[in-house]
Amino acid sequence: MRKSAIPAVAAAAGLAIGLTGCGAGSGSGGGDKLVVGATAVPAGEVLTYIQKNLAKKKGLDLEVREFTDYVLPNTSLQEGALDANLYQHEPFLEDFNKSKKADLVPVTGVYLPPMGVYAKQRKDVTKLPAGATVAVPNDTTNEGRALQLLASKGVIELKKDAGPNASPADIAANPKKLVFKELDPAQLPRSLDDVAAAVINNNYALDAGLSPKKDAILLETVKNNPYVNVLAVKKGDEADPRVKKLAELLTSPEVGKFIEDKYKGSVLPVTGT
């Protein structure tokens, strides 16, 4: 059974329950300070790196407020308590806008926590045996993401109109007659002893001691990927000079190198070195 999108997509980026700090100093579009909400890892670490090493040179007064909840950063941004946030991909942002009647927009992609296919007995996803069981996330957005990843390698073929919320019902061709087992995303790493392969979100793979770069037999790439995490603002604030400065820094070679050096393939920068 599938679960609703917002809580599950939030879980795909990390676990969450609260907020550390509230209220923006400048408000939307005003003042010199830019108040940005973020989850601790990797968004908070990336923004803190910019705050300590790059912002001053760019004439940017950056304040970072960390959240451990995956709805509050958006509600705070919508209400004007933040000037921007960084922690989510566009499908999640669109789902939030639709469900909350909000008008938040992406400014630029920053990094990708890649989803991967993992297996204990196989090194090539195309070599899965006929009739093998593949575990996938049981929530709408992440299951669709998992199926799109498998389709990108030709393991399955999806219907032409299958979108980001694709389900097994949208599979047009399944030459190996794979069986898809829908599990809570947090349970997927533990399923590896019982299935031929599992498609696992980045944070749960890391929590289980898996290295996306070394252990995944198929890993998402940044190019044309809708699940890149984005800097977001309230509609109308895209042209704010402070936002533009931050967007330039987030996609700079310096930040690309920081992400590559610190996360070693577990998080992929949109702009590398």
In this structure, which topology does domain 116-219 adopt according to CATH?
A: D-Maltodextrin-Binding Protein; domain 2 (3.40.190)
The residue type at 202: N
Helix (H), strand (E) at residue 13: helix 5-13
CB 32 within 8 A of CB 246: no
DSSP, collapsed to helix, strand or coil, labels residue 204 as helix
- Considering the domain delimited by 5-113+225-269, tell me its CATH architecture: 3-Layer(aba) Sandwich (3.40)
State if pTM tops 0.75: yes
* pLDDT for res 139: 87
What is the spatial distance between Cα 50 and Cα 55, in angstroms, rounded to a whole number?
6
Whether the predicted pLDDT of 195 surpasses 90? yes
Whether the predicted pLDDT of 193 surpasses 90? yes
Question: What are the extents of the domains in the chain?
Answer: 5-113+225-269, 116-219
* pLDDT for res 12: 40
pLDDT in tens, 149-182: 999 999 999 999 998 889 999 999 999 999 999 9
Average pLDDT, rounded, for the chain: 90
